[in-house]
Amino acid sequence: MFKKMTEREKGLREKAESGDADAMIQLFLDYAHGTNDIKANEQIAVRWLNMALEAGDARAMGYKGILLHKQKKYQKAVELLNDAYEAGFKDVAFTLYMYYSEKPMLDETKATHWIEISANDTQTASSQIKAGNRYLLGKGVDKDLSKGKQWIDKAFINAKADKNDKAECYGSYGYIHQENGESQKAKECYLEAIKMGRFEYSFLLAGIFEKEGNLEKALEYYQYGADHDVPACKPELKRLKKMG
């Protein structure tokens, strides 16, 4: 038996059929994800998406680009995503960053270009952290600790109460201090990140202690990282135990 259409769905369909692109996009999202009491149906979802695309909706260009990417039609996907951004759907800047930061479309320069655009457009801590870290590590740009720190400073403010973003900022600050030879400040920042659940910074913290000759502390944090499934800590822990 067919499920009875809800009043909400009925209203959206009426609007969509009269040319309302917002309603078309909402129906696409509902059918694509199975939300708002609508059973997921890819075929119906794509039909509403194509209608929105024919209406020239910028969001439809972006969502269509994402679908084409999943279908491995990479070049066409990127063209649509670029069109979507130019047409005003700014959210796709982050999507373009993601696509260019991994295979098969890996292009570090373009990835940095798009994450900076996303960071500027959205002013979100997550994008700003990613933009900053690319400068800190020299990915797609010349390594620039000062420029990286500028992004991390903005991210730290925008992170507000978000524990994960705050932790990642502390980790980035730790790296900056470490690169500048400020070991004590680096250790303090890494410890803050670890306290907030970013256990991977145990590896860098342990490395500083080992470099300082404090093998007991190095062993402690390699062990801590290994206990929290940080892959890089496990061989270092084994090596240090053999030494001692």
SS (H, E, C) 153-216: HHHHHHHCCCHHHHHHHHHHHHHHHHHCCCHHHHHHHHHHHHHCCCCCHHHHHHHHHHHCCCHH
pLDDT attached to residue 97: 97
pLDDT attached to residue 88: 95
Phi, psi of 73 (to 5 degrees): -95, 70
Q: Which one-letter DSSP state was computed for residue 5?
A: P
Query: 229 in helix, strand or coil?
Result: coil
Query: What Cα–Cα distance (Å) separates residue 52 from each residue in 24, 31, 89, 147, 217?
Result: 6, 14, 14, 40, 59
In angstroms, the CA 30 to CA 26 distance is 6
Query: 31 in helix, strand or coil?
Result: helix
| Closest-CA residue to 29 (of 69, 67, 56) | 67
Q: Which amino acid is at 63?
A: Y
pTM above 0.95, yes or no: no
Q: Mean pLDDT by 10-residue block, N- to C-terminus, for the chain (244 residues)?
A: 76 96 97 94 96 96 95 94 96 96 95 98 97 98 98 97 96 98 98 97 98 97 98 96 83
pLDDT attached to residue 3: 58
- Measure CA 171 to chain center: 16
